[in-house]
Structure 1
Amino acid sequence: MTPSRGLTALHLRQGHPDFLDLPWHLPLEEWNQKVCSRLVEVPRGLSRHTVVFVSYGADIYALKELPVSVGQREYDVLRGLEDRRLPAVTAVGLTRVRATDRSGEEQAILITQYLPSSLPYRVLFMNRGLERYRERLLDAMASLLVRLHLGGFFWGDCSLSNVLFRRDAGELQAYAVDAETSELHTKLSDGQRELDLLIMEENVTGGLADLAAMVELPSTLDVYATAPSIRQRYERLWTETHKEISISPSESYRIHERIRALNELGFSVGEVDLVASGDGSQLRMRTIVTDREYHRHQLHNLTGVVAEERQAALLLNEIREMKATLTREVNRSVPLSVAAFRWLDERFRPTVSRLQKELGPAADEAEIYCQVLEHKWFLSERAKRDVGLEVAVKGYVALRKEQPALALLRSANAPLVTVEAEAEAEAEPAPAPHREGLR
């Protein structure tokens, strides 16, 4: 029996493997190391469908078996999310297979790219050493829903199991990983948003209740208060993005204040509407936000560095500090672009290169650099002075060498660690500076 016997169709995007060496003649539930040497284990959430993970060099892909119509729908929706630059896993391909024991019945297998350095909620909730991320997880979940709803995405099955979280400079960013019941619209109605929030509350509460029946949850985690807390955070953030304010024609500076306030939350402002009200002595200002990647865009435009939103904000702060230093040294204003070039050439690239030599290739260069900055903050707080980047790098390298390698630092050729090993490695993370989240 040849490996391609069960494969009837294969649709793939450019830039990825052809996957023809996989054992398509077997259902996913029968794949193991004997029939598929590419099979790997990664931290995963719960799924109602069979899901396996395979590696091709440094890249890992998730394969999920679905009915053909459902698989095609999810593939199309994920491509739509990518086109709209919304946070979700990337759809790579869709196959159709005919199993020999199903009388010619076809099934679809959706192929998505695994999100590097990501963790499911169960790891963040249950493992010692990750407590500081739990509160941030609720903020990340609320932010994800706001971003998706702003982009016209009706989820239809929002739950903690359908989300992956990536560490982002001491915070978390959330990504949708399941879109089987989802729809894309030009704009969501209030009724659609309300329904999505109700589904989220029911799914989150039910998921935590099921988990509590199997294991003891942390005392700080309330099964029935978590979902309402996510909704409250969502409502506050949604209100902030849609707030209208009244200004007088002479208060144009308030337009810039409003835009700056949204930018500080990470939102890019696409349009500003000014409409006269009453006798014309007042104007109603409404801002239209486009995404929550303001700092990501700015950092990439300045340096070419790809980072998460909070990583980018932290790195931009360091670039601005360099700008101030250069301005003081030459006694004249220095453009931010010049400071960005110096920062990239003198700090970011040399530091990342050194860390990779000491610790191995990093899956996320921006995150590892931000971790060094957080370690620098911690050492400086303890020393009551700025210890400098060199001391921080040495201390960070020493700290990581004392612990098992994190998934974040995993080499492309290194074996994947288990969830338990990764959690153990996180048991004593470097303290992070306090940041204000949504409250």
Structure 2
Amino acid sequence: MTPPRGLNALHLHQGHPDFLDLPWYLPLEEWRLEVCPRLVEVPRGLSRHPVVFVSYGAHIYALKELPLSVGRREYEMLRGLEERHLPAVTVVGLARVRVPGEPGDEVAILLTQYLPSSLPYRVLFMNKGLERYRERLLDSMASLLVRLHLGGFFWGDCSLSNVLFRRDAGELQAYAVDAETSELHPKLSDGQRELDLLIMEENVTGGLADLAAMVELPPTLDVYATAPSIRQRYERLWAEINKELILTPGESYRIHERIRALNELGFSVGEVDLVASGDGSQLRMRTIVTDREYHRHQLHNLTGLVAEERQAALLLNEVRELKATLTREMNRSVPLSVAAFRWLDERFRPTLNKLERELGPAADEAELYCQVLEHKWFLSERAKRDVGLEVAVKGYVTLRREQPAPALLRSATEPLPGVVANTGTSPTDKQEAPSSERS
């Protein structure tokens, strides 16, 4: 007798549920609330394979069914992205499910953590009001490709469905989702980058054409001009971070200027190459960029806080403002580390404690504090003076109470419509299943 479908093995990372109460005996297409109360609906892109989402408390996980070899390969790709600190969804584990009749009588189910407060580009492009965010959306998608290529990642399937975005201190941060067709290399060749960009252009144009057949796209989102615009942004940024400078004697200061300029873009500089040029009276300078997490690293080193890149840059600006204030008040230079400690102790923590008492715990403390700073800027602009942090906190609490579920993006006067996911409730009963392996 052929054994029925069921869970053969489950390889999981620590810090996540065991997932043993899920109905592994059913194909993902047949999972319904009646058999899996943890099922939730969230905004999603298109997928070639069955995908479901389940909630465990405040966390949501995506499960995708794949042929075993493809699932193993994508698992390794996502692990590689994580190890290289590249922007992508976090892989949680890989299940091997017994399915008689499939190659090897098994399929893989890849488990990833759903990125909180995120939306696929495809879903966002179906919303009205996109015009205000078009430039930032295209810039963030181009920036994502630059970061992935710098990290040696050939995607092979960049599309509107495979890119997620979420807010990062008023800007947009893009993340890769699928890695089924991807490759990791020490470094990409120009040919590999060119191929990846061609695939992106074809996929994005095709995705927009499909959307245009379903909804009326904004005039600024041209079906045939958008993908080339992303490519142009990519090429400008790539050229900027890879350009070489010619230095003459006495221009060593330009080395530090170049590094600062790259740091302001968020890129960390790992090495600087200086090579003799021409007759030896000049030097050719080339910088080796490592990642786009310069401000994240600096903030973490100073405070221990973990934040997104744009969040970290905004928080560091406030630390530097406090440093200038302390220097003026004390009439002597104050180290940035001292200002960071004072900022953490006197501003950041007290503000978050007050917000937690008024609004409840925050899923992303850094983003919450950045939203308060943004609200402070808006109030100060309106009042034509600095209103101060305390007034901003009170105003922000009032705003949140009037709008309990604010949109993921908002401008000073008008929010962008978004989709609020139902996280569902967590059942307490569990079905019998084999024990899991943990790594």
TM-score normalised to structure 1 length: 0.90
Task: Sort the Cα spacing of 1:33 and 1:418 in 2 relative to 1 into closer, same or farther, 3 A.
Answer: farther
- Structure 2: which amino acid aligns with 1:11? H
1:39 aligns with 2:62: no
**Partner in structure 1 of residue 352 of structure 2:** 352
Deviates more, 1:101-110 or 1:225-234: 101-110
Task: Indicate the SS of the match to 1:217.
Answer: coil
Give, in whole Å, the separation in 1 of the partners of 2:43 and 2:256: 44
Please give the per-residue CA displacement for 1:281-335, whole angstroms capped at 9, x wherever unaligned: 1000000000000001001111111111111111100000000001111110111
Give, in whole Å, the separation in 2 of the partners of 1:268 and 1:362: 29
1:295-374 to 2 correspondence within 5 Å? 295-374=295-374
Cα pair 1:42 1:418 within 8 Å, conserved: no
**Partner in structure 1 of residue 265 of structure 2:** 265
Cα pair 1:142 1:234 within 8 Å, conserved: yes
Cα pair 1:303 1:344 within 8 Å, conserved: yes
Cα offset, 1:346, TM superposition = 1.1
Cα pair 1:296 1:313 within 8 Å, conserved: yes
Task: Indicate the SS of the match to 2:382.
Answer: helix
1:209 aligns with 2:209: yes
**Partner in structure 2 of residue 434 of structure 1:** none
Give, in whole Å, the separation in 1 of the partners of 2:347 and 2:133: 28
1:265-304 to 2 correspondence within 5 Å? 265-304=265-304
Cα offset, 1:123, TM superposition = 3.7
Task: Indicate the SS of the match to 2:161.
Answer: helix
**Partner in structure 2 of residue 425 of structure 1:** none
Give, in whole Å, the separation in 1 of the partners of 2:52 and 2:5: 20
Give, in whole Å, the separation in 1 of the partners of 2:407 and 2:420: 12
Cα offset, 1:15, TM superposition = 1.9
Give, in whole Å, the separation in 2 of the partners of 1:408 and 1:363: 13
1:12-411 to 2 correspondence within 5 Å? 12-99=12-99, 105-128=105-128, 131-406=131-406
Cα pair 2:119 2:166 within 8 Å, conserved: yes
- Structure 2: which amino acid aligns with 1:375? H
Task: Sort the Cα spacing of 1:224 and 1:420 in 2 relative to 1 into closer, same or farther, 3 A.
Answer: farther
Cα pair 2:95 2:108 within 8 Å, conserved: yes
Cα pair 1:363 1:408 within 8 Å, conserved: no
Give, in whole Å, the separation in 1 of the partners of 2:269 and 2:311: 20
Give, in whole Å, the separation in 1 of the partners of 2:86 and 2:103: 40
- Structure 2: which amino acid aligns with 1:247? L
Cα pair 1:117 1:364 within 8 Å, conserved: no
Q: CA RMSD in A?
A: 2.0
Give, in whole Å, the separation in 2 of the partners of 1:420 and 1:109: 26
Cα offset, 1:130, TM superposition = 5.4
List runs of 5+ in structure 2 lacking aligned partners. Answer: 410-416, 423-439
**Partner in structure 2 of residue 436 of structure 1:** none
Please give the per-residue CA displacement for 1:15-61, whole angstroms capped at 9, x wherever unaligned: 22211111100111111211112112222222121111112222211
Task: Sort the Cα spacing of 1:172 and 1:354 in 2 relative to 1 into closer, same or farther, 3 A.
Answer: same
Cα offset, 1:408, TM superposition = 6.7
Task: Indicate the SS of the match to 2:325.
Answer: helix
- Structure 2: which amino acid aligns with 1:238? W
Give, in whole Å, the separation in 2 of the partners of 1:181 and 1:81: 14
TM-score normalised to structure 2 length: 0.90
Cα offset, 1:421, TM superposition = 7.8
Give, in whole Å, the separation in 1 of the partners of 2:370 and 2:131: 19
Cα offset, 1:104, TM superposition = 7.7
Indicate the percent of aligned positions where both proteins have the same amino acid. 87
Deviates more, 1:115-124 or 1:383-392: 115-124
1:9 aligns with 2:4: no
Give, in whole Å, the separation in 1 of the partners of 2:75 and 2:406: 31
**Partner in structure 2 of residue 435 of structure 1:** none
Task: Sort the Cα spacing of 1:179 and 1:73 in 2 relative to 1 into closer, same or farther, 3 A.
Answer: same
Task: Indicate the SS of the match to 1:82.
Answer: helix
Please give the per-residue CA displacement for 1:379-433, whole angstroms capped at 9, x wherever unaligned: 1111111111111111111112112424879xxxxxxx982689xxxxxxxxxxx
Give, in whole Å, the separation in 2 of the partners of 1:66 and 1:374: 43
Cα pair 1:117 1:363 within 8 Å, conserved: no
Cα offset, 1:127, TM superposition = 2.6
Cα pair 2:120 2:163 within 8 Å, conserved: yes
Cα pair 1:140 1:174 within 8 Å, conserved: yes
Cα pair 2:155 2:179 within 8 Å, conserved: yes
- Structure 2: which amino acid aligns with 1:111? L
Cα pair 1:153 1:184 within 8 Å, conserved: yes
Task: Sort the Cα spacing of 1:361 and 1:381 in 2 relative to 1 into closer, same or farther, 3 A.
Answer: same
Cα pair 1:45 1:122 within 8 Å, conserved: yes
Task: Indicate the SS of the match to 1:161.
Answer: coil
How many residue pairs match? The answer is: 412
Task: Sort the Cα spacing of 1:377 and 1:418 in 2 relative to 1 into closer, same or farther, 3 A.
Answer: closer
Cα offset, 1:361, TM superposition = 2.1
Greater relative contact order (Cα 8 A, min sep 6): structure 1 or 2?
2
Task: Sort the Cα spacing of 1:368 and 1:161 in 2 relative to 1 into closer, same or farther, 3 A.
Answer: same
Give, in whole Å, the separation in 2 of the partners of 1:98 and 1:419: 36
List runs of 5+ in structure 1 lacking aligned partners. Answer: 410-416, 423-439
Cα pair 2:41 2:421 within 8 Å, conserved: no
Cα pair 2:153 2:188 within 8 Å, conserved: yes
Task: Indicate the SS of the match to 1:273.
Answer: strand
